[in-house]
Chains A and B, each alone.
Chain A
Amino acid sequence: MKACLLASLAGAAGLLLGAVAAHARADAASAAPPNLLDLRLEDLMQMTVTSAGKKAQRLDRTAAAIHVITAEDIRRSGATSLPEALRLAPGVHVAQIDANKWSVSVRGLGGRWAGQLLVLMDGRTLYSPLFGGVYWDVQDTLLEDIERIEVIRGPGGTLWGANAVNGVINIITRSAADTQGGLAYVRGGSHESEAAARHGASLGDGIHLRAYAKRTERDPHVLTDRMPYLGGRPTGAAGHDAHDGWGMRRAGFRLDNALGGGDRLTLQGDAYDGDIRQTAITVNPAAAGNALVADAIAADGANLLLRWQRRTAGGELQLQAYVDHAERRAAVLRERIETRDIEFQQRFSLGARQEIVWGVGYRGVAFELDGGYTVSFRHGRHDSALYNVFVQDEIRLRPDVALTLGGKFEHNPYTGTEPQPNARLFWQIDEQQGVWGAWSRAVRMPSRAELDFTLRLANVAPYTAIAFQGNPDLAAARLTAHELGWRRQFGDRLNVEATAFRYDYDDYISLEPLPGFPFSTTSEFRNLMGIRSQGYELSGVWQAGPDWRLRASYARLSIDARPRTGSADAYSPALIEGSGPRHQFQLHSNSRLRHDLDFDAMLYRVGRIAAGDIPAYTRLDLRLAWKPRRDVELSLVGRNLLDQRHFEFLGQDSVASEVPRSFLAELRWHF
């Protein structure tokens, strides 16, 4: 893990903040109610409408802060990568570090290596078990094949059948039956180019297959004059090529087979290969200080997933298994990680008023980590096994009140068995209005890196480094979360939602100096930090006309970190407290100017980030799309139109760069 190569205090703390995480599991989507849109007409005709339901069900009854990014939202945003698409969700902080690195966080604790989000695609976890965060440069698919992205702010608990601390990001692709026919596009612009093709075909009764391939090249950003690391000589002058261009090649398929009797079988897989350039921070054992090196990471990976679903009289069974291989060779670390995951879950109704979901899962991860002086592992080869079992009961206490109780037990070899209960209550006040409250506990398990690695930031003298050291005795950090939410529909056209939260983390990771002579140069991870974060989020959607939709949101966050008695950690608190913006605001407009002309505008305001003193910025993206023929779309996208370039987030183990203004043109053809 490169992960662990931080070369600066700032970086270090980022890792601290980050990390771990949830060796989570489970397909978040499948624990939610079945997606009716995927059912056949015959099956829909067998479903019963809720008895309360003469009235229209116009309110989302989920007792959690959930936002759904639809396929149309993604297309109309002009986003060309997963993290950029996540900017669309209220209360999510997406910050680009350099051309190929992002920090994505929900309700604070952001950072390149931050690991308190559960990120899933079609039931497969995307975050790296090495550090708990996501290598966003290798996680991708054909964005056009994504059906929706569910973004849940707050502990996932068992509501989504998954373990997540600060939030859940659940990416769901369309079934192969929904992506029939051909699609090809080419796009090019000031900083990137991409070409892709997908074809979907029917292989007989109920069997559909699609396959895609795409190739992306992205140009380097501009080097920043910010030096968020100790010492080191920059490899270029500010304002010049940041040496962070990258290229990826990717292909994948999905096969859906609707077997008889309500059974469905899905087989899907992807493979990728890429070259990712960065300026890495390294420490030479025989020299003082540290040095920046122009690094070219070679990354490749593949995954294969098999899922079997059976619809039963009142619910569903699902058995899913996948294998995932990821390899990454960088200057300071070569890593190879194999994951095997299998899980079963069942949903059924108990009586007329209860719906139960339960499941069991196993995950085995095999690590091969080959570091050097900058980052090293005591146990470069290591296997770990995680088991979990969860159950959740949704009880309709009254026609207008639903109580959800859930619990999950996860067993891992490092910290033992960790229980994670949650309770949620939803009250539908009237047809237009609902309120909910939730209490949950979530557990952030130490990552492989936090348990085992040594990261050297800089040498104070030859063979004497300022270093961070993993601790095999680390315990899990515990989060207790309280949330409140309110939703209301005003007339036919305006929907408003407000949520508030308070998170209390116990035993969060701190950095404690170890005794040394003549002074301490090594700090060890301990569980001596307490954090309280709180805030609120407001969002609204207004259908201003048949062809014009406006969406606005505001998110407020404040974090307070208090080292516990016995801690000598002097600098983590400021980094934790300054890990995200206190204010975020978005305003999006989607309009159709003419039957063949779409115009979209997205305005973002992100407040100052205290850690690293990153100034607030305002970003405007515009998109214009023209359909000269029914099967052809031509679009133009301008991003960051308000400034030449701006800085979004600190580099940690590598040098950050500034996000430039960019333009993109795309030609898309359906055949």
Chain B
Amino acid sequence: MPSRASCLTGLTLAAALAAGAPAPARAQVGEYELKAAFVYNFINFTRWPAGGDVALTLCIHGADPFGPTLDKLAGRTVGRRYLAVRRGVGLDGLAGCDAVFIAAPALGNLAGVLDSLGSRPVLTIADSPGAMRRGVLINMNRNEQNKIGFEVNLAAARERGLDFNAQMLSLATEVRR
């Protein structure tokens, strides 16, 4: 059997090489499946002040655009913390969050959201044009090639006691310092 096995190994390797030829099209994914992966990365690249709960709570404020995709995040580890997901969190519940995704329709009352958060170390994320300049810490944009980019408000983050990994900042389309 070993000889058969090695024969097959050779075959599969040959196949692998043949398959290495450039594939014609791009991988396409659902917008919010992709954005959920961005959010997960943002959380991984954020440093919170020491002393938080073992659960790192990601809240969705406003109608949840992610759907079941978000459930894949729940329970993942971030450093030494577990990620917990809460949907439909109102203004009064925001104080218990470590990160908040503010859905586009709820951005109309951004002032109210920022008010409820005070100066707490909460990572705010949105995907609406101009949100970063209005005080949201990370804002995702979709460009003409249908790719997702993001901009970071580092100055506002530091006021909240949060910091970001330098590698993430280097990938941002804009960083407000």
Chain A residues near B (Cβ < 8 Å): 33-34, 36-37, 39-42, 44-51, 53-60, 68, 70-75, 147-148, 174, 178-181, 310, 312-315, 317, 319, 321, 340, 342-344, 346, 348-352, 360, 362, 364, 366, 383, 385, 387, 489, 492-493, 495, 543, 545-547, 595-596, 627, 629-633, 670-671
Would you give the shortest CB distance from A44 to chain B, in whole angstroms?
A: 5
Asked if residues B28 and A45 are in contact (CB atoms below 8 Å), the reply is no
Asked if residues A49 and B5 are in contact (CB atoms below 8 Å), the reply is no
* Cβ-defined partner of A49 (8 Å) among B19, B67, B89, B146: B146
Q: What are 23 contact pairs spanning A and B, CB under 8 A?
A: A39-B37, A42-B171, A44-B37, A48-B27, A48-B146, A49-B30, A49-B34, A50-B28, A57-B30, A70-B71, A71-B74, A74-B75, A178-B77, A312-B22, A314-B23, A317-B16, A317-B19, A344-B16, A346-B16, A364-B1, A383-B1, A595-B96, A596-B53
4 cross-chain pairs, A with B, having the tightest CB-CB distances, nearest first = A57-B30, A72-B75, A58-B67, A71-B75
Would you give the shortest CB distance from B149 to chain A, in whole angstroms?
A: 6
Bound CA–CA A467/B64 (angstroms) = 61
Q: Which chain A residue lies CB-closest to B42?
A: A41
Bound CA–CA A633/B80 (angstroms) = 13
Q: Is the interface of A mostly helix, strand, loop or mixed?
A: mixed
* Cβ-defined partner of A349 (8 Å) among B27, B148, B168: B27
Q: A56-B66, A58-B66, A631-B54 are in contact. Are A49 and B79 (CB under 8 A)?
A: no
Bound CA–CA A41/B75 (angstroms) = 20
* Cβ-defined partner of B34 (8 Å) among A47, A148, A321, A351: A47
* Cβ-defined partner of B25 (8 Å) among A34, A36, A314, A545: A314
Asked if residues B41 and A630 are in contact (CB atoms below 8 Å), the reply is no
Asked if residues B12 and A319 are in contact (CB atoms below 8 Å), the reply is yes
Asked if residues B23 and A546 are in contact (CB atoms below 8 Å), the reply is no
Asked if residues B75 and A44 are in contact (CB atoms below 8 Å), the reply is no
Asked if residues A346 and B29 are in contact (CB atoms below 8 Å), the reply is no
A-B interface pairs (CB < 8 A), number: 220
Asked if residues A47 and B147 are in contact (CB atoms below 8 Å), the reply is yes
Asked if residues B88 and A492 are in contact (CB atoms below 8 Å), the reply is yes
B159 within 8 A of A: no
Bound CA–CA A314/B41 (angstroms) = 22
Bound CA–CA A460/B63 (angstroms) = 71
Point out the residues of chain B lying under 8 angstroms from A319, CB to CB.
Answer: 12-13, 16
> Chain B 113-157 against A: per-residue CB contact (8 Å), 1 yes, 0 no?
000000000000000000000000000001001111100000000
B36 within 8 A of A: yes
Asked if residues A350 and B75 are in contact (CB atoms below 8 Å), the reply is no
Q: Is the interface of B mostly helix, strand, loop or mixed?
A: mixed
* Cβ-defined partner of A343 (8 Å) among B12, B41, B68, B77: B12
Bound CA–CA A631/B66 (angstroms) = 29
Asked if residues A47 and B29 are in contact (CB atoms below 8 Å), the reply is yes
Asked if residues A315 and B27 are in contact (CB atoms below 8 Å), the reply is yes
* Cβ-defined partner of A348 (8 Å) among B12, B23, B82: B23
B93 within 8 A of A: yes
Q: Which chain A residue lies CB-closest to B37?
A: A36
* Cβ-defined partner of A44 (8 Å) among B8, B34, B52, B80: B34
Asked if residues B8 and A362 are in contact (CB atoms below 8 Å), the reply is yes
6 new A-B contacts, CB < 8 A, other than A72-B74, A314-B26, are A33-B29, A41-B38, A51-B28, A57-B69, A492-B64, A546-B88
B108 within 8 A of A: no
* Cβ-defined partner of B68 (8 Å) among A60, A383, A670: A60
Asked if residues A48 and B30 are in contact (CB atoms below 8 Å), the reply is no
Q: A48-B147, A492-B63, A631-B80 are in contact. Are A362 and B5 (CB under 8 A)?
A: yes
Point out the residues of chain A lying under 8 angstroms from B79, CB to CB.
Answer: 180-181
Q: A344-B15, A627-B55 are in contact. Are A148 and B24 (CB under 8 A)?
A: no
* Cβ-defined partner of A54 (8 Å) among B31, B63, B171: B31
Asked if residues B54 and A48 are in contact (CB atoms below 8 Å), the reply is no
Bound CA–CA A331/B122 (angstroms) = 61
